[in-house]
Amino acid sequence: MGSAKDKIESIRPRPSPVADIVKGEHPLQSERVFRLLAENLSDYALFLLTTEGIVASWNPGAQRMKQYKPQEIIGKHFSAFYSEDEKAAKKPDKELEVAREVGRYEDEGWRYRKDGTRFWANVVITAIREETGELLGFGKIIRDMTDRREAEIRHRFLIEAVTDYAIYSLDRHGNITSWNSGAERIKKYTADEIIGKHFSQFYTKEDAEAGLPAKVLHTAATTGHFEGEGWRVRKDGSRFWSSVVITPLRDETGELVGFSKITRDITDRMRLQEKIQHHADELEVRVAERERANAELEAFSYSVSHDLRSPLRAIEGFTDVVLTDYGSQLPEPAVALLQNVVQAATRMNRLVEDLLNYGRLGRIQIEKLPVSVAGATKAAIEQIDEAVRGKVGLSIDPSLLVFANVATLTQCLFNLISNGLKFYPPGQTPHVEVSARRDGKSIIVEVKDEGIGIEPKHLERIFQVFERLHSDRAYPGTGIGLAIVKRGITRMGGTVWVESTPGKGSRFYVSLPAAS
């Protein structure tokens, strides 16, 4: 513990050292301190050479950089640090000569360590003279710049290697200060031709006159970024569609020092996009036209079918009356002919009904609710002709529900089951099996028969209206049943397809969204 007097002494301001500094008497100004400084500079090799180039001092930085201990190198000539070629070319002597003549020599290049490895050095040699001018020797300072040089090379190489992008920099005013090979490729100017010129010459006359170059730099400088697309002009006057990014470059204090600019030629992409857009527009127009034509056609066929119904019924009804009331008075061939008329009218009636059903499916709103697959299948089976109804097997888990319209689903299943029962070789007892299973978020219903089957080449077209593979005499029908199935299932958000082996049988599948 010091006395109170000591304490006061310690807080009293000391006399300013400035006077000492001016007189050159401050402790920092002793030669010893300079030596200490040299000793502690471990990032720099700092050593002295005699007028002949003999190493006279060696600091720890020099030892670290060059690997020689002071006792190994002091007294040796400094040419030990140079390659054989450089020694033969008298490079060490020439450096000292320059320093002797002009006072200083500076250089960057490879220097060698004791073990022969090299490093990239920044070297300064200074002549040390007496006040009288007499040369005392040289001071040499070396910095290891290997890392920095490599980083610079990597950076330069990276920018140079990019040929798809024009990468260049501008000063604050928009004058070009660097130019990579991508810029040369895209804009056709060499670096020599363009560095120093203003970047506005890449703009079209209109854009330049509208002050666009200044505007984009202003945006980049004020918002920190500019991005845009537009026409630019190459050296030969040709234009290209460019995508541009401009970033302001600032120094550590935030002062704007220039801009970096990355430009890409995206003319091909732009043209392709234009083409695609053009095709898409055309396609849209054509689809709309076709949809309108289709709708018109359907409306027309619907009204025709509708209007055909009553004359048809009249033909059927009156012929029937003639047959019943006057059949006995007619000659046999006339009866047979009139029976043909009734048959044809009945068939036409069926056709018209089916067509109307098909047309209606395209127009009505289809309301969807959870529907039991087993329930809809049972309802479909009940509509089957009693004579063959018993030939249908049903194995469906009653808990399976689909999102569907019960009437539409029942009609589709009815069509598939009746087809399955119909397309059997003559004389063979038909059998149809209906089953269902869950498949992820869907339920797949399968209607399987062991009938005549379908050739692979017909598997697609049988779902189109009026597409039939057999004569009406062999297998009566209208050719609309499967078209109704396809339209109905598709409108309920499902899909339908078939697998078949001719002579073995067919499996029709309906997939619908599960409702639970």
Binding footprint of ligand ADP on the chain (CB under 6 A): 415, 419-420, 423, 449, 451-454, 462, 467-470, 477-483, 506
Tokens of 365: 């709103």
Strand 369-372 to strand 239-250: parallel, antiparallel, or no bridges (unpaired)?
unpaired
Return the number of the residue (326 or 466) whose C-beta is nearest ligand ADP. Answer: 466
Q: Minimum distance between the CB of residue 298 and ligand ADP, rounded to whole angstroms? A: 18
Q: Minimum distance between the CB of residue 451 and ligand ADP, rounded to whole angstroms? A: 5
Going through 256-348 in order, the beta strands assigned E by DSSP cover 256-265
Return the number of the residue (319 or 419) whose C-beta is nearest ligand ADP. Answer: 419
Query: Are the C-beta atoms of residues 315 and 341 closer than 8 Å to each other?
Result: yes
Return the number of the residue (477 or 488) whose C-beta is nearest ligand ADP. Answer: 477
Nearest to 175, CA basis, from 85, 232, 257: 257
Query: Are the C-beta atoms of residues 415 and 487 closer than 8 Å to each other?
Result: no
Return the number of the residue (340 or 464) whose C-beta is nearest ligand ADP. Answer: 464
Q: Minimum distance between the CB of residue 478 and ligand ADP, rounded to whole angstroms? A: 5
Query: Are the C-beta atoms of residues 295 and 271 closer than 8 Å to each other?
Result: no
Q: Minimum distance between the CB of residue 335 and ligand ADP, rounded to whole angstroms? A: 29
> At a CB cut-off of 8 Å and minimum separation 6, what does 491 contact?
361, 362, 366, 408
Return the number of the residue (274 or 472) whose C-beta is nearest ligand ADP. Answer: 472
Q: Minimum distance between the CB of residue 412 and ligand ADP, rounded to whole angstroms? A: 11
Return the number of the residue (111 or 486) whose C-beta is nearest ligand ADP. Answer: 486
SS (H, E, C) 27-43: HHHCHHHHHHHHHHCCC
Nearest to 410, CA basis, from 478, 505, 512: 512
Using CB positions, name the residue nearest to ligand ADP: 477
DSSP lists the bridge partners of residue 510 as 445, 496
Q: Minimum distance between the CB of residue 330 and ligand ADP, rounded to whole angstroms? A: 33
Q: b or e along 181-203 (b: 16 or more beta carbons within 10 Å of the residue's beta carbon)? A: bbbbebbebeeeebeeeebbebb
Q: Minimum distance between the CB of residue 502 and ligand ADP, rounded to whole angstroms? A: 9
Q: How many residues are listed for the chain in this entry?
A: 516
Return the number of the residue (372 or 478) whose C-beta is nearest ligand ADP. Answer: 478
